Structure formats: structure tokens, C-alpha cells
A and B are shown apart, each in its own frame.
Chain A
Amino acid sequence: MSAKSITSLDRLTDVTARSILVNISQRVRKQIHQIVLPLLGMIVLWQLAAMYVSDPMTLPTPMATFEQTYLLATTPDFRGLTALDHLRYTFVRAIVVSVIALSIATVFGVLMTTNKSFEEGLSNVLPFAMTVPTVVIILLSMIWFNFGERAVIFATVIAATPFGIINMWQGAKDIDVDLITMAHSFDASTAMVWRHIYIPHLLPYLFGSYRYILGMVWKIVILAEVFGIENGFGAMFRYYFQMGELVVMLGYLMLFVAVVLIIEYAVLKPLEEYLFRWRG
């Protein structure tokens, strides 16, 4: 009997292994279709347009741009920094800001769901905060904080947080009250209700909100860096814009896009799928 069960077990693992392989190859094929082909298509279109324009000052070819990206990433500029160093500055600012904004958003989002007057007050006032244009916030913040690092951080937090709050609030709103009554019927403590119901419920939203906030924050940080700071992508965009160096700007842009997409699709999205595998 043992011999038989071993072979059948073997077959079982064999089957699962094969199904995993099939699964992986299906996924790869899907990604080729959805990501690689469209990207190649975009590059081909760009190449065609560049050939049509045939003026590298107006539209450099993709190859010339990628070469430029490589050069920028490997050689220091007049400040002694490579594009990767500038990327690090921008990156750290974006992370700091997004974490601050997410923390504020979480606190206010939960307060809004647990307290009626808070909810009414904020939900009517936040839309007004949301119509303030980012540039105006940035320019004011630059003046108030003397054109430095703190100005960038402050402006970005102010610009992104109202959006984050609304996002968290919408997530916290549709918590299932039936689960709370269920917990009460088993005399669960408040700590248990938070640990097993509120937090797991909020976690996907927290994660979603973070991705949403980070998506905005990247761009706001760069916009802020354009106005009077010395390092980071935005500062370099402005510098090369004033020099009239379109190729270099595009080189920087490609690096930026690559990094944002990699963080989004290779880090955050898989992490989300892993954390929330209970969603069937």
C-alpha cells in the first residue's frame, strides 16, 4: 500500500508542478501581450515619428534617448551627481511625503467614519481644499519656507493629503456593521474588534490609498523641485529646459517613467496580490 500511495503522491506533485509551469507560461504570455508588445509598439511609433521629423533637436530617436539615459545614469554632471543620485533625492522626498500624507489621511479618514460631526465638517470643506492648484501651493510654500527642502515637502503634503483623506474615508465607510455585531455577540473586546475587523478591513484600502497617493506625489514633488531647489529630477528638468537640451530631458524622463512603472508593477502590485490572497 505504501508503494502505491508514494507513486500516486508523486503523480500528484508532478501534476501540480506541471500546472504551476503552465500557469507561469500563461502569465508570461499574457504579460508579453499586455506590456511588452504595446511598449514595443510605442517605441516603433516614436522611431517613425523621429524619422519623419528628422531633426534630433525637435524629436530625438528612441535609441539616441536611451543612450542619453545610460550616459546620465553613469556619468556625474556639473554638480558631481549622476541621474541616479538625483533620482535618489526625488525618491526619498516622495517616500517621506507619501508616508506623512498617508498617516494623516488614515487618522482623519477613520475619525470621519467614527464621528458624525467630523464627517460633516470635513466632507464639506475638503472639496474646497482640493480646488487649490498645486502650483499655487508650491509657489507659496517656496516663499514661506525660503526655497528649500522643507518647502518641497510641505507643499507636496498639503497638496496630496486632502485627496488621501477622501480616499481613506470612502474605504472606511463601507465597513460591514454586521461583523461588528457578530463580534459583540461573542463579547469580543474593542482591541479584538480593531485587530480582527477594522484593521484587516482597512488594510486593502490603506494599500490602495498608498498607491494612489504615491502616484500623485511623484509628480507633485517633481513640479515642486522645478521651482528653486538644486537637486532632484525636477531641478534637472528645469536646468536642461533652460539650456534647450531636449534629448537630455527625454533621457531623464525615460529613467523616471521606468522607475515609477517598476515600483508600481514589480513591487506594489505583486505585494498587494500576496497580502490580499484571501480575496479568492
Chain B
Amino acid sequence: MSLKFENIRKTFTEENGNEFVVLDDISFDVNDGEFVSIMGPSGCGKSTFLNMLAGILPVDSGEIWYQGSAVSPADLPSAYIFQESRVLNWRTVGENIKFALKAQGIPEAEHEERITSTLEMVGLENERDNYPLRLSGGMRQRVGIARALSVDPSILLMDEPFSSLDELTARQLREDVLELWQETDKTIIFVTHDVSEAVFLSDRVFFFDTRGQIFNRAEITHERPREPDDPELLETEAELMETFFDHMTAIQ
């Protein structure tokens, strides 16, 4: 029970002054080194949830526990990988990683070593002095991943990181992320729209609904390594989708 969320709630104020609830009451926990996914319809608050964990948005109420003590999001050793790569186009690949290292206050002496090793991990060791606009979409996304890995977080937050890539590139990157995850024992919280992506990657999947609650917690027990088009996985996907649609019609 290393990471635990209790009754997390978040509301936004609309232009006209009305309050609306995005996340009502979210509670779940994540084990060390676990790969969990969050799924839900568009606008249900998945990105909002990750943004709160990353300290970009304040939490309204609720508690976060990490390694047995209550913490604020700022204290979580996490790093964020975004849907769009969000790299600085005017800095080289290496300098982009340096940006994160400096921001996190990591000693200058370690920068060199960390930049080289993380670029190797994502297979971009030859692009270090290249500018991002000269890279393909998949490579830019890898820069974003390397940047997050470079600060050596225990928790990786990923918000639909592959949804803007073509399917072939996305498959390759999924394999790579799984490999990195297994090598490094990191905890990953992964947001996605895509049920087959969630089933292929995760140990557990949490389903958010439009009322801001979790309505399904699914354990994916299939053996690893998994094959993307394995019929057993497809069957699990179909079951999950059915529960999902049943619930959506039920709460209408």
C-alpha cells in the first residue's frame, strides 16, 4: 500500500460563477512498482486528476498517503509525461533534459551522466544535439519520456502519451515503456481512452465516470509478456467495455 488516495475531490468555477464537480470522491491505492491505468469518457477529469498529482492544480479536499504518511502532491517523487510532447523547440534534445534536471535542483555534476543514460534508455543517444522540430512525432515523445526519467522519479504520470501517434509507433513505444518499467521498478499511473491499451499495459484499471466517481476496478491477470492481439486480451477488453456502457446508460 505505498500510494493511497482518499476522498479526492475537485470542483471548478465556471465563467458564470456556478460550481461544477469534476472529481467527487476518488479513493484507490497503488502498490510500489505497479502499473495502473485510469480510463473514462472525455471530460470526466482524468487529466485533472494527474495535474493535481503533479502539483499543477491544487487539491480541493481529500488526502494523499505515500509510504505511510500523508503528503502534499509537491512531495510526491513523480514526473509527468504529457499527451503532446511539450518540449522546448528552441533547445536541443540534451538541453531539454537539462531543463528538467535544473528545475528539480539536481546537482550539476550528475547532469552529464543522467542525460546520456536516459537518452540511451529511449534510444535517442544520437539525437542529443539535434533540435526537436527535426525529429519525428514518436521521437519527440521519446524526448518527453527521457526528460521525465532523467529526474529519476519513483512515480511516472502519463496522460495519453501515445494517442497522437500512429498505431505502429504507439505499439513500439508501449513495448519500450513496459521494458523500462520492468527494468526500473517504477510505479506508473497511466491515463488512456483506449481500452486495449489499458488492458495490454496494466496490472489494474480504474474506470472514472462523468459524476467523478470510480465505478469499476478491474484486475488484469494475464501473464506477461502479453501480445497486443491476443484473443484472451480481446475478450477481457470486450467484457470491460460492456460493463462500461451498462454503467453509462444506468447513470443517464
Contacts and interface: CB of A to CB of B under 8 A. Distances in A.
Direct contact between the two chains A and B in their complex (CB within 8 A):
yes
Would you call the interface of chain A mostly helix, strand, loop, or mixed? helix
Contacts, number: 62
Interface centre among A185, A187, A200 (most CB of B within 10 A): A185
A178 B103 CA distance: 16
Contacts of A187: 55, 74, 103-104
Contacts of B86: 178-179, 181-182
Interface in A172-219: 178-179, 181-189, 192, 196-197, 200-201, 203
B71 to A, nearest CB: 15
B43 to A, nearest CB: 18
B99 A196 contact: yes
B23 interface: no
Interface residues of A, number: 22
B82 A182 contact: yes
Nearest to A182: B86
B83 to A, nearest CB: 9
A279 interface: yes
Contacts of B88: 179, 196-197, 200
Contacts of B104: 186-187
A276 B74 CA distance: 35
B245 interface: no
Nearest to A275: B90
A175 to B, nearest CB: 12
Interface string B121-140: 00000000001111000000
A280 interface: yes
Contacts of A188: 99, 102-103
Nearest to A183: B103
B82 A178 contact: yes
Contact of B90 (A182, A185, A278): A278
Nearest to A181: B56
B162 interface: no
A176 to B, nearest CB: 8
Contacts of A203: 90
Interface in B29-61: 51, 54-56
Contact of A184 (B56, B102, B134): B56
Interface in A237-280: 276-280
26 contacts: A178-B84, A178-B86, A181-B51, A181-B56, A184-B55, A184-B56, A185-B56, A185-B79, A186-B79, A186-B80, A186-B100, A186-B104, A187-B55, A187-B104, A188-B102, A189-B103, A192-B103, A196-B99, A276-B90, A278-B89, A278-B132, A278-B133, A279-B89, A279-B133, A280-B131, A280-B133
Interface of A: 178-179, 181-189, 192, 196-197, 200-201, 203, 276-280
